[in-house]
Amino acid sequence: MTDEITKVSIVVSKGSLEGIYPALIMANGARAEGMEANLFFTFFGLDAVHKGRAEHVKVATVGNPGLHLATLVGGLPGVSSVMTHYLDRKMAKLDIPPIPEFIEMIADTGAGLYGCKASCDLFELTKDDLVDQVKDIITVGEFFAMSAGGQIIFT
């Protein structure tokens, strides 16, 4: 007999396409399977829900071994923008929405989106700086209490 997963809490800590999209895809998949899903945006992951930054998230080309050849030239000016544009086009062909649209879509399914209080304090952000879909800015303790009985995934 296997235990059925009924709740996932996903920590989003990276502010790059390859750090944000896996969390959004997992949260969307969890909601599609009828699971409760909560996203906790911390450190640079806050860029995904920051009103001024969510539309400007790029691929991290420096130090990203998954880019193979692009890693060799990743530090050159413009490479990150080129790779981001390339991946945006590929994702659009697969009907994967841009981050702001994906955030709205996931929130509309009932997923909870939360900012990390410590990170918001560190970066001097308030709830007004974050997209409307963010329910609240909460502490790590509140996040753990909310996550009790479920799986925690860190991206």
Q: Give the pLDDT confidence of 105-115 residue by residue, as tens digits.
A: 999 999 999 99
Give residue 83's pLDDT band: very low, low, confident or very high (50, 70, 90): confident
**Contact of 13 with 155, CB cutoff 8 Å:** yes
Whether 47 has a pLDDT exceeding 60, the answer reads yes
| CATH class held by domain 7-154 | alpha beta
Q: Please give the radius of gyration of the chain, using alpha carbons only, rounded to the nearest integer.
A: 16
Q: One-letter amino acid identity for 100?
A: P
Provide the H-helix boundaries in 43-139. Answer: 69-73, 79-93, 99-108, 117-122
Whether 9 has a pLDDT exceeding 70, the answer reads yes
All structural domains of the chain with their residue ranges: 7-154
Measure Cα distances from 120 to 24, 58, 141, 142 in Å.
Answer: 20, 21, 15, 15
Q: Which residue has the higher pLDDT, 62 or 120?
A: 120
Do the strands 151-154 and 112-116 form a parallel or antiparallel pair, or are they unpaired? unpaired
User: Quick one: tokens of 151?
Assistant: 């799986």
CB atoms within 10 A of CB 67: 19
CA 128, distance to chain mean position in Å, is 19
Give residue 91's pLDDT band: very low, low, confident or very high (50, 70, 90): confident
